[in-house]
Amino acid sequence: MRIIRIAVAIFLWSTSFNGFAQAAFLAAPDRLQKGGPLPEGLQSTRSAVFIKVNPSMALDSAGWYEMAQVFHQALVDLHIDAVVYYRWRDLNSGFDASNSYIQALADREANQFIILEVQAGSYQIYIIPSNTEGQELFSADGQAWHISGSTLENATENLTQIVNRSGLEIANFLISESPEFFVDTPIFKKNRFESFQPDLKLDKLAVPLFDGLDPGDTNSLADQEIQVICNNQYPFKYEIVGAEMDEDLMKKAGFQYVLRYLYAEESTLLTLLDYEFHSETPNTFGYKFYFKHLITGDIYLGDNWDSRPTWQESLNVHLQSMKRALKVE
């Protein structure tokens, strides 16, 4: 099995976990160096596709799936075996989610990654080999083959012309006619509880710094805010830890719990956290915090759905609910 690792954009846990970097977030495609060659195995081995859509385009889930269907057909015609499709923003939705997606990617044994970056009037296609030796899915400043077009049709036509002239070995003949989406990738392998764990009163909590949690935040501002909120709202033992601190190191340092979050569309949050779907605003983005027990991997989501549009509001509400549930002033 090819070991797939993931690049850092916001923060990195650099030690390994079950053979994978404990990483969280992908570097932006525009950081890749253009001018790399087409991967030799493009038409003979497996690929994974990431589609990154500019938020300003307000593309809903139905539109995203439709775009993936069109793109997939162009790849099938080129004997490119795209075995899985992911939304870029889902890969970046949070620490636990990202690690689960990494595992799912590893299971699919993709030899190269195809990134479709979509903005108004611009469709960028990047193709880069998977990184099997370093700590990254692909190097943030790596050499990627690149082509673009003003429309998806134009971009795929340009891709077709060059790939057809490339002379690469063609061995992919049995390819699924429909793209595969793993939106229901399970992110928790242990128990989940819609409650707060009373042991939080006794055990020390690790609170990682949320560097760059919001696109508009500077690292120092986010770091300051998380400390202020915890000082005001969390009544038990806790310690702010570096964003790079690995969960194994947290355990060795005496922490029993860690505060985690996910950021995604509400429909995605509900799916990832295994809630019964109940949202009236499924396409609204929000943050959802939870407590994770480091020894068992159990997660405690709280006793109510408290996703909010900003991380500050979400964390405040979550900690207030915890104090009420545990009967703490």
Residues 156 and 196 both lie in one domain: no
What is residue 308's DSSP assignment? B
Handedness of CA 241, 299, 100, 56 (dihedral sign): negative
**Measured between alpha carbons, how far is 259 from 299 in angstroms, rounded to an integer?**
10
pTM above 0.85, yes or no: no
Residue 186 lies in a domain: no
The overall longest dimension of the chain from CA atoms, in Å, is 70
Residues 26 and 159 both lie in one domain: yes
Domain hosting 18: range is 12-164
Residues 291 and 152 both lie in one domain: no
Quote the pLDDT of residue 29.
72
Residues 206 and 266 both lie in one domain: yes
Distance of CA 181 to CAs 268, 300, 327, Å?
13, 27, 43
Residues 145 and 285 both lie in one domain: no
Q: Residue 21: beta bridge partners? A: 16
Residues 31 and 70 both lie in one domain: yes
**Measured between alpha carbons, how far is 313 from 222 in angstroms, rounded to an integer?**
13
Confidence of residue 22 (pLDDT cuts 50, 70, 90): very low
Residue 103 lies in a domain: yes
Q: Worst-scoring range by mean pLDDT, 61-70, 124-133, 259-268, 302-311?
A: 124-133
Confidence of residue 8 (pLDDT cuts 50, 70, 90): very low
Q: What angle do CA 272, 97, 73 make, to 5 degrees?
A: 80
Distance of CA 199 to CAs 155, 221, 253, 257, 291, Å?
55, 31, 18, 9, 11
The predicted-structure confidence for 204-248, as pLDDT tens digits, reads as follows 999 998 654 444 444 567 778 889 999 999 999 999 998 878 899
**Taking 60 as the threshold, does the pLDDT of residue 184 lie above it?**
yes
Q: Which residue has better confidence, 172 or 19?
A: 172
Q: What is the DSSP string of 163-182?
A: HHTS----------SS--B-
Residue 300 lies in a domain: yes
Residue 138 lies in a domain: yes
Residue tagged 């709280």 (tokens): 302
**Taking 60 as the threshold, does the pLDDT of residue 10 lie above it?**
no
Q: Which of 164, 182, 206 is the last residue of a domain?
A: 164
Q: At what angle do helices 219-233 and 311-325 cross, to 10 degrees?
A: 20
Residue 58 lies in a domain: yes
CATH number at residue 70: 3.40.50
Number of C-alpha atoms within 13 angstroms, CB side, residue 172? Answer: 21
Residue 169 lies in a domain: no
**Measured between alpha carbons, how far is 127 from 34 in angstroms, rounded to an integer?**
10
Tokens of 251: 């355990």
The predicted-structure confidence for 185-200, as pLDDT tens digits, reads as follows 667 778 999 999 999 9
Residues 148 and 252 both lie in one domain: no
CA 146 to chain CA centroid, Å, is 23
Residues 23 and 91 both lie in one domain: yes
Number of compact structural domains in the chain: 2
Residues 119 and 231 both lie in one domain: no
Residue 172 lies in a domain: no
Quote the pLDDT of residue 302.
96
What is residue 47's DSSP assignment? E
Quote the pLDDT of residue 137.
63
**Taking 90 as the threshold, does the pLDDT of residue 95 lie above it?**
no
- Burial class (CB within 10 angstroms; exposed 0-12, middle 13-18, buried 19+) of 62: exposed
Residues 155 and 235 both lie in one domain: no
Residue 179 lies in a domain: no
Q: Which residue has better confidence, 329 or 86?
A: 86
Quote the pLDDT of residue 87.
87
Phi, psi torsion values for 123, nearest 5 degrees: -125, 110
Residues 143 and 87 both lie in one domain: yes
Tokens of 72: 């997939």
Q: What angle do CA 294, 260, 51 make, to 5 degrees?
A: 120
**Measured between alpha carbons, how far is 125 from 3 in angstroms, rounded to an integer?**
24
**Measured between alpha carbons, how far is 106 from 128 in angstroms, rounded to an integer?**
16
The predicted-structure confidence for 110-165, as pLDDT tens digits, reads as follows 899 999 999 888 999 999 988 655 445 666 566 889 999 999 999 999 999 999 99
Rounded average pLDDT over 87-105: 81
Name the helix (H) or strand (E) containing 65: helix 61-77
Residues 31 and 122 both lie in one domain: yes
